[in-house]
Each structure stands twice: as structure tokens, then as C-alpha cells.
Amino acid sequence: MHVFSCLEIEGSFYNSDYGLKHRFTILEEEYESWEEISKKCMTLGCNAELFAVLFQIPSYILADDLETVISSFEKISEAIEEGSIETLLDSYPEVFDNVPIYIPLNVLDEQFKKLFENKELVKVIFKKFQGILGGLWERFYQKHWETKATKLIEKRIKDLNIILSPINIISAWQREFNLKFPYPEFTVYLVEPTTTIATNLLAEKIMVSANLDDMILYKIIIHEVGRAFLLNTNLFTNDNLKTIAQSNIEKLSNIVDAACIHIKKKLFKNLKIRDEELDPYFVPEVSEIIPVFAQIWDSMQEKDIYEALIQTYNKLTPVI
């Protein structure tokens, strides 16, 4: 995220204020060469795919040192050259075990095939990015991580765990949805330089800002666990939801946010959480969905969250 913020890479939810403050940590020639290559990237029309392979997938591979990080980029680059994610899965057995629960592997495979069409340019992007990472670590970030960032993040984790430990958030949602949580655990990573509410790191992992207030972080985690129950490949076991997910995943994602906003009001009440501040997930495209979902959900005698999502979508998107 430090590199993404300094380079202001589109689609990364970077923190430009953080990037400006730390601009000196990246060499001027690196800025110039990245600007040149980023212009070529704009013509590819695959920003989402690049974000997945430059950030989400390498973030999913745990690393204790820079060499492991650089190595993961080599393995991802090899998979792009093959035009298939299978090569990457073979390189990291068990690391990606939960990914098929989150998204069908053929969808990720399509991303690698799309990048394969521009593999020569993507290969250059990876080399540039690896070079920037390596130089930055030696010049600045290793010392920054060891003397400042780690202490900040460890303190925030300790403070947050005091709030999180008494309540099993997964069990609370499980009772509301009457669904089994699809993953063995849910992991939250705290980072310094991000302005997003939360960024998915593929399946059951999210990234949030360490600089947020404890209660805001707590509420974000509650919401994101709710999303994790619903936005996964279980959708594809329901023919109607599968069709919606394949044709309009953005609308379905907004409906899921609306469902979580409405249902978590009850969770907040049970957890004795005051809900006075404006919900950060309450954006215009979601706010108009909430009353539609609420009317359907509250009128159900036997709650079926999948059916409520389908009915909400059909009501908002009538077939003429």
C-alpha cells in the first residue's frame, strides 16, 4: 500500500496524502518510468485484473521477508505467461484453499487469460514493480516498518481485540442468516496508507486502515463478516442468484450491503452498540435499496436471505 500510495496506482484505494508525505522514498526515475508504463496500461482496459495480480494475490501469500514477496511476483508472472491460474495454485499448495469458496476458479482463470493477451507489457510492469519494492525496502521501509509501523499496528490490534474478544461476530450473523459460515476463519489486516472502508484480499481476508477509531473498525468488521456470508460461490448453487451474479454483480453487491445495513441494526442492539454515527456503507446507490430489502425481509415469516436478495433484485429491476 505504501508503493501504491506513492505511485497513485488506479484502483488501489491509495491514500494520496500518505503518498505525498512519502514521495521521497521512491526515486524520481522510478516515478518517470512508472508514469510511462501506466499510460500503456490505461489502453489495456484491465485495471481490475492488474490490481488482482499486483496487490490482492501477492497480499494473500504470507511472507516473512522481502525475498518471499519478490518470489511471489515471479510465480504470478509465470502463471500469466501460461495464461492460467493453475500454475500459481501448484506453486502454493494450501495457500489458496479458500479461494474457490469465494469465487469460481474459472473466473480468476479468465483474468489470467486476459493478462496473457498482453503478457509482454505485464512482464515489464512486474519487473518495474519488483525493482521499486526492492529499492524502497532497502532505502526506507525496512527501518520504518521495524521502528514505527509495526508498533502502531500491534497497539491497534491489541486495542481492537479488547472489543472483539467478548463477542463471536460470526455466530451472531449465523443466527440471523441461518447459514453456515463458508470459511474456517475471517482475517483482518491493519495497514497505514489506505482511505477505503475495507479492501477484499480475495476470499476470507480484508484490509482496513489502522488509523480508524476502534468502534468504527469494530462496525466495519461486523459489516464485512456479514458480506462474507453472502458474497461467495454459494450464490452459484441457487440458479436465480447465479444468473444475477453473472449478469449484474455490482447491483447484487449493493443489495448485499443494504441487507447487512438493515440486519446489523438488530446486531448492534443485541451487542449494545450505539448506532448514532452515519454508516460508512450508507452510500446513495445502497440507501435507496435498504427500504425495499427491509420491507421484504421484515415481512418474511420464515427468513430466507437468498430469497430476500432475489426478491429485492426483482423489485428493483423489473422485467418489462
Q: pLDDT of 125-156, one tens digit each?
A: 999 999 999 999 999 999 999 999 999 999 99
Question: What pLDDT, on the 0 to 100 scale, is given for residue 60?
Answer: 87
For residue 238, which phi and psi values (nearest 5 degrees)?
-105, 120
| pLDDT at residue 11, rounded to an integer | 55
Q: What is the arithmetic mean of pLDDT over 193-199?
A: 84
| pLDDT of the residue at 12 | 57
58 pLDDT more than 60: yes
Mean pLDDT of 278-307: 93
Q: For residue 319, what pLDDT is reported?
A: 58
Alpha carbon separation from 102 to 49, 182, 257 (Å, rounded): 16, 9, 17
For residue 189, the model assigns a pLDDT of 93
- Rounded average pLDDT over 216-239: 93
Mean of the per-residue pLDDT values of the chain: 89
Whole-number pLDDT of residue 208: 92
Q: How far apart are CA 38 and CA 36, in angstroms?
A: 6
pTM metric for this prediction: 0.91
User: Positive or negative, the Cα torsion across 145, 151, 156, 162?
Assistant: positive
Residue 269: CB atoms within 10 Å: 11
- For residues 227 and 106, the model is more confident at 227
CA angle 289, 291, 295 (to 5 degrees): 120
Domain ranges of the chain: 2-144, 167-316
pLDDT of residue 177: 95
Query: What's the pLDDT band for 10 if we cut at 50, 70, 90?
Result: low
The percentage of residues in the chain with a pLDDT greater than 70, rounded to a whole number, is 97
Is the pLDDT assigned to residue 45 strictly greater than 80? no
Say what the alpha-carbon torsion angle 306, 286, 280, 245 is, to the nearest 10 degrees: 50
DSSP for 290-319, written as a single string: HHHHHHHHHH-SS--HHHHHHHHHHHHS--
Q: How many whole angstroms separate alpha carbon 220 and alpha carbon 214? A: 10
pLDDT band at 87 (very low <50, low <70, confident <90, very high): confident
Q: 108 burial class (0-12, 13-18, 19+ CB within 10 angstroms)?
A: buried
Distances (CA, A) of 36 to 30, 128, 287, 314: 10, 11, 40, 45
What local confidence, expressed as pLDDT, does residue 166 receive?
Answer: 82
